Amino acid sequence: MTTTPEHDKRVSEMKFFSVYPHYVTKVEKKGRTIKELHTVIEWLTGFNEEKLQELIDEKVTFKTFFERATLNPNAELIKGVICGYRIEDIETPLTKQARYLDKLIEELARGRKMEKILRVKK
């Protein structure tokens, strides 16, 4: 299933600061911590807590958020279905990056071990 241009536009224009509290709620509700959430976000984007807060305060869109990110080279190892889309089949880079983040947060909320979420090779 590929995304539509309308879907991609919606993802691009979403404000990160408005979605972030939902990430916090999702992981805390399942017994995970904000620190773990920030670890996952930093692994994917390179943003530490300070930079993350700056982006939240600046009220950036997902487009700007991912334009400023330094995506982890192992991000391509994130696979599976999220929000009804198979990540490997998403062609629009920004939408794929947003779904990478969604998938990592879902894995965190489901109790997956951090080394598996961060794709640590043994």
Structural domains in the chain, CATH included, are 5-112 (1.10.8.290)
At residue 6, the pLDDT reads: 87
Split the chain (122 residues) into runs of 10 and give each run's mean pLDDT.
80 94 97 98 98 98 97 95 90 94 97 94 66
pLDDT the model gives residue 121: 72
pTM of the model: 0.92
Q: What angle do CA 60, 25, 9 make, to 5 degrees?
A: 35
DSSP 40-86: HHHHHH---HHHHHHHHHHT-BHHHHHHH----GGGGG--SEETTEE
pLDDT of residue 1: 55
